[in-house]
Amino acid sequence: MKKASPTIASPAWVLILVAAVSAALAVLLDPLPVVQAEDTVVRLTYSMAPNAFTTVAKERGELAKELAAKGIKVEWVGPFPNHAPTIQAVVGETADFSFGGTTTVGFAAILAGSPLVFTQYYDYSPRTSAILAIDPAIKTVKDLVGKSVANNRSGIGETLLTAALEANGLDRSQVEYVYMNPPEGAMALASGAVDAWVMWSPEVDLARETNKAHDVFSERDLPYPLDYSGWVARREYVEKNPEIVKAVNEAFRHVGEWISTHPEEHEKLLKSVWKYDDSLTPYFISIANKYTFHDPSDKEFLDRFQASVDWLTKNKVLPGSIDVRAVLLQP
C-alpha cells in the first residue's frame, strides 16, 4: 500500500486549503480578547470552503446585519478546514459555535467527554460526497481492496467509505484507512501518496477538473442518508444565553432559505471566493442545494437520525452509542 508523504507538491487550489489550516491553528492557539461585559458578541466559526454554510453566511453579510438589529455583534473566527477543529475552538472557548458541519465529529467529541450540545440539526440535498481515484484501474469499490484511502476520522469521509465497503460486501479491514484533514487528502491523492480520497463538493469537483479524478462511489449511491449536520456549542453557554442561541439559530435558518431559493446568486458568491474555472459554473448552479432544518418535535426525523447514529456505532465510526435527542439543547 502507498504511504502518505508530508512533502507533496500540490495544485494551486490545494495551497489555499493549506493556508486555511495554518490560519485555523493560529486561532486555536491564540484565544480571542475578552469581550467587555456591556458588549453582546457571538463568535461564529467558518470554513475556507466557499460553499460551506457559514462561509456563505459570512460573505453575504445578511446574517450579521440580522443579528446586529437584535443587539448582537458577530465576530467571525477562522477559516477552518473542516468541522472538527471548529469544535476544538468551541471546547477551548475561542469560539461560541462550530460551523455547522457533520454531526458525527460532534458526537465523537461528546463521547470523549467534551461538555457540548447541539443547538440545531439540519440536512441538505443533493449529497455530493464521493470516493475519488485517479488510477484508471480503480473503477469500483472492490478495486479498493488492499488500497489506501484518505478520509477524515469520524466525519463524512470515514462514514461514506465504511458504508461503501458494507454495500459491496467488504470489511473495513480490507482497506487501509488513512486519516487526514481535507487539505492533506487533496495533496495525497494528487501526488499518488494514497490510492483514493473521500471528499465533498466543491473539492471533489475541482479534483475531477484539475487532476482528472473519477468517482468510485458516490454518497448518492446510498439507499438512505447516514450523515447529518448541526451546530455545536458548550452546554453552559447555551444555558446562560438562550436568547442569543435562539437568534443565531433563526439567522442560520434564513441563510438556508436563501441558498435553497437562489442557486444562481449562490454560485456567483461561490465563484467570487474560490475563483474556479468558468466551465464549472453550470454544474454548481445545477446542484441547487436545498436545506431542511428540524425542530426538536420532529419525531420522524429524529427516529431516522437515531437509526443512522446507531449504524455509525455498530460500524465503529463512532466509539460508542449516543442519544441524538439527549444532546440537542435548542431554545
Residues 177 and 143: beta-carbon distance below 8 Å: no
Enumerate helices (H) and strands (E) in the chain, giving the number of each: 13, 10
Residue type, 297: S
| Chain region(s) in the chain for CATH 3.40.190.10 | 31-126+227-314, 128-221
- pLDDT attached to residue 6: 35
CATH architecture of 128-221: 3-Layer(aba) Sandwich (3.40)
CA geometry: angle 178, 160, 101, nearest 5 deg: 90
Task: Give me Rg for the CA atoms of the chain.
Answer: 19
Residue the block writes with cell 437568534: 247
> Taking the model in full, what pTM does it have?
0.81
Residue pair 77/89 in contact (Cβ under 8 Å)? The answer is: yes
pLDDT value at residue 322 = 97
**Which residue do the cell numbers 482497506 mark?**
175
Tell me if the domain spanning 31-126+227-314 has CATH number 3.30.1330.10: no
pLDDT score recorded for residue 208: 87
Confidence (pLDDT) at 200: 83
| Amino acid identity at 274 | W
Intervals of the chain under pLDDT 50: 2-38
Place of cell 494528487: 190
Strands annotated E in 126-272: 130-133, 148-151, 176-179, 196-199, 214-218, 229-234
Q: What is the pLDDT of residue 307?
A: 96
pLDDT given for residue 74 in this prediction = 98
pLDDT at residue 270, rounded to an integer: 83
